[in-house]
Amino acid sequence: MSFLRVPVPPRLPDPEEQLSPTQWRQLLLVLRLYFSQLDAVFQALLGRNGVQFLETPTASIYNDLNQTILGGSPLPVRFPLFTSLQGFTQPTVSQVSPDLAGTYYFQATLNYANIGGADRLVSAWISKNGTDIPTTLIEITIPSNDIQTISLNYIIDLLPTDVLTIFAYCALGNTELHSPGAAAPAPRGASCRMNIFLISNDSTASITPPGFRLKKQKFDPPP
């Protein structure tokens, strides 16, 4: 909450002092300024339209179409639709970037389908600024004509200049990110979904003490 500013307490006279009319006016001006600062803090906490919760960056983006994975070629997963996109931008349909520096929780689900042939080993991982993050790699084997889900979960430091991309991969092809069609009583599904939200403002912006930063094991590309 670095956007909050602590009001500066006014220097008030001792209670027993006798104040002139001019001093009373000065005192009222100082108090008015102080209470205006307090009001600004509460307005920042309350957020838009009087909502009584702190507004934080959140995004939930998805794709409700199938995405074919070509053999041997990593697919930048596309997320053209959203149900929430507050505090994030999408430079491309396969990328997401935060508006504010912070530590973020990242979660994505990819709905893989083996559309023919033998069992398929499929994988997914996260890339930051074009550099793959090794510790995000997940692999599963999908039997022929079967559908399974990969879930990616990660906590990551991000700056407004950072860009995240998810890649889906299968060396042999004949796989896709599958969007289930509507079949009563179930609604139509998504081939993929990404949820990401701020959990802390952040050591990347040097807001927290250096000692706190040192407790983090850094496997992902530096911010």
> What are the start-end ranges of the H helices in 90-218?
210-214
Going 146 to 82 to 219 to 56, the CA torsion angle's sign is: negative
Strands 102-114 and 175-177: antiparallel
Strands 75-76 and 67-69: unpaired
Q: How confident is the model at residue 214 (pLDDT cuts 50, 70, 90)?
A: very low
Percentage with pLDDT > 90 across the chain: 53
Could you tell me how many helices (H) and strands (E) the chain has, helices first?
2, 14
Q: How confident is the model at residue 41 (pLDDT cuts 50, 70, 90)?
A: confident
Residue 192 has pLDDT above 50, yes or no: yes
Phi and psi, residue 153, nearest 5°: -135, 135
* Calpha distance 182→64 (Å, rounded): 11
Residues 117-122, mean pLDDT to the nearest whole number: 92
List, for residues 154-172, the tens digit of each pLDDT value.
999 899 999 999 999 999 9
* Calpha distance 85→87 (Å, rounded): 7
Residue 127 has pLDDT above 90, yes or no: yes
pTM, rounded to two decimals: 0.73
Are 66 and 162 in contact by the 8 Å Cβ rule? The answer is no
Residue 38 has pLDDT above 50, yes or no: yes
Average pLDDT, the chain: 84
Q: At 38, is the secondary structure helix, strand, or coil?
A: helix
Phi and psi, residue 112, nearest 5°: -85, 140
Going 52 to 53 to 56 to 59, the CA torsion angle's sign is: negative
Give the per-residue pLDDT at 15: 67
